[in-house]
Amino acid sequence: MKPTYLLITLVLLSSNADAASLTGLNAWVESQLASNQASASAYLFLLMGGFLASLLPCVYPLYPITASIIARRSQGDAPRALHPAVYYIGLASIYFLFGLIAAATGGAFNEVLRLPITNLLLALLFLLLALATAGFLHVSLFSGNGLGDKTPGVAGTFLMGMGAGLLSSSCVGPFVVGILVGIASQTDGLSVFTTLTAALKMFAFGLGLGIPFLLIGLFGVRLPKSGSWMKYVQWALGALILYFAYTYLEKGLSGYGFKPESIQLAFFGALLVLYSLYHFWEGDELHSAKRMEKSLFALFALIGGLSLAHGVLTPAPTAIVTSAAASSAPLTETKGELTWYLNREDAVKAAREQGKPIFVDFFAYWCANCKEFEHLTETDRALIDGLKKVILLKIYDNDPEFKQFQNDKRFPELKVGLPFFVVANADDNLLYKTSDYTRTDEMLLFMGE
């Protein structure tokens, strides 16, 4: 069977895979990653886990994009396998880097990634990458080999592979979280051996994840001859990267207290200003890349001016005096049919009075899967009925109590990312925890259903 047909067959099989089996696979992968063992079988099964994760439907859009990138960059006298192999190693290397940094910093790197300013800088980086990928900015590293000719260089191919790994990491999030949680759970201290073990485990997962990309590059999709159609492929990839720019912008601005609707308005407003500025200089006979550079600098000047004005002119918050009666009322919010406590002490008090367990949902506006679970709490009848029988507590990522949970050694997952869910009794004994929002049956089981 040809590799392309084999790949298509495996994709179809994976699309029809039973959800319970995938959940079981995810749990097994997490247990392997949490182990400090470095056996050959562990790496082999992590490789298989990465390959199966690559067949998730949300990864599919990257396949034709990969085919077009490699076809374009493989022109010239270079061996046919060179650029596909470099792209493949680049994709796996981003996972090795994740593991190396996470292990070496003991979770501190994840804390840096949570900072609003860090996410805003990443949003800016992805914006520039999106514009460069779509052909509106010129980045020499991606266009040539540095030897004076127009043959695409392997350094650019390697970086594009890393970019594909970064983009696909959002699709295979449960597996990646399992890896990082395993690292964060190592409380005996990190050595050179454990650091390399963690990084190599992620690398093995990345090698498995990249197998379809390698097959596509070597044998796969037969594309038409290069022409104007490739411009649209570039735009499609640029739009995909631009989406990731928005997700990081949402993370950053939500950390400063902006609501989702305000962030959406700011993002599309900025794009509209950038588009208008780009066409404003159209009559100056400038190269498109130069026009985009001028437009970006003008946009950054506008945003910087607005930020400066906001910082200088916004008055300091004044203390609000509340009555004793008002201050004693539990702080809650209602979503659909469910009412959530927003304070741990109030939730524990209610749990003890009513003799019920507590279900804790750690939530952030920038977390896509947090929003997916919130949607389930408004539409899944079985889940709604089960949650009505327990005490509900929602902890936002910018709430001071979130830090207290983060520092609890029982919850290393919170040092990695969200979503995260906990079931505990009124005496604060842990009954269940998970980072997978789809495991609602397990949640209900431990809540007493």
Read off the pLDDT band of 325 (50, 70, 90): very low
DSSP string, 184-242: HT--S---HHHHHHHHHHHHHHHHHHTHHHHHHHHT-PPPPPSSTHHHHHHHHHHHHHH
Read off the pLDDT band of 16 (50, 70, 90): very low
- Residue 183 corresponds to which tokens in the numbers above? 């690292």
Task: Tell whether the model's pLDDT for residue 360 goes beyond 50.
Answer: yes
Task: Tell whether the model's pLDDT for residue 147 goes beyond 60.
Answer: no
Number of residues in the chain? 449
- Strand, helix or coil at 172? coil
Cα distances (Å, whole numbers) of residue 354 to 203, 348, 375, 389, 434: 49, 10, 27, 10, 25
Dihedrals φ, ψ of 174, to 5°?
Answer: -55, -35
* pLDDT value for 220: 62
* pLDDT value for 9: 41
* pLDDT value for 328: 65
Read off the pLDDT band of 141 (50, 70, 90): low
Please answer whether residues 277 and 294 qualify as being in contact, where contact means their C-beta atoms are separated by less than 8 angstroms. Answer: yes
Q: Is 144 exposed, middle or buried (0-12, 13-18, 19+ CB in 10 A)?
A: middle
Across 234-239, average pLDDT: 75
**pTM of the full predicted structure?**
0.59
Across 385-389, average pLDDT: 94
* pLDDT value for 350: 94
Q: Give whichever of 63-77, 272-286, 415-429 has the largest mean pLDDT.
A: 415-429
* pLDDT value for 139: 60
Read off the pLDDT band of 159 (50, 70, 90): confident
First to last CA, the chain: 48
* pLDDT value for 225: 53
Show me where the domains of the chain are located: 3-276, 327-446
Q: Which of 30-39, 62-71, 358-367, 396-405 has the lowest mean pLDDT?
A: 30-39
Q: Which of 24-28, 335-339, 358-362 has the lowest mean pLDDT?
A: 24-28
DSSP code, position 170: T
Residue percentage of the chain with pLDDT more than 90: 23
Q: How many CB atoms lie within 10 A of CB 272?
A: 10
* pLDDT value for 171: 63
Cα distances (Å, whole numbers) of residue 199 to 38, 49, 181, 223: 11, 16, 13, 36
- Strand, helix or coil at 118? helix
Task: Tell whether the model's pLDDT for residue 175 goes beyond 90.
Answer: no
* pLDDT value for 255: 75
CB hemisphere CA count around 148 (13 angstroms):
0
Across 363-390, average pLDDT: 89
Task: Tell whether the model's pLDDT for residue 444 goes beyond 70.
Answer: yes
Q: Which of 2-11, 46-55, 263-272, 304-313 has the lowest mean pLDDT?
A: 2-11
Residue percentage of the chain with pLDDT more than 70: 71
Read off the pLDDT band of 449 (50, 70, 90): low
Average pLDDT over the chain, rounded to whole? 76
Q: Give whichever of 46-50, 172-176, 219-223, 425-429 has the largest mean pLDDT.
A: 425-429
* pLDDT value for 228: 62
Determine if residue 266 is left, alpha or beta; phi over 0 gives left, psi from -120 to 50 gives alpha, anything else beta.
Answer: alpha
Q: What is the pLDDT of residues 259-296, one digit of tens each?
A: 888 889 999 999 999 999 888 877 655 677 888 888 89
- Beta-bridge mates of residue 391: 358
Across 299-324, average pLDDT: 70
* pLDDT value for 31: 53
Return d(Cα 178, Cα 27) in angstroms, integer.
8
Sign of CA dihedral 297, 303, 308, 313: positive
* pLDDT value for 187: 41
- Of residues 27 and 404, which shows the higher confidence score? 404
Read off the pLDDT band of 348 (50, 70, 90): very high
Q: Which of 357-361, 404-408, 441-445 has the lowest mean pLDDT?
A: 404-408
Query: Which CATH code is given to the segment(s) 327-446?
Result: 3.40.30.10
- Residue 394 corresponds to which tokens in the numbers above? 């929602």
Q: How many CB atoms lie within 10 A of CB 23?
A: 17
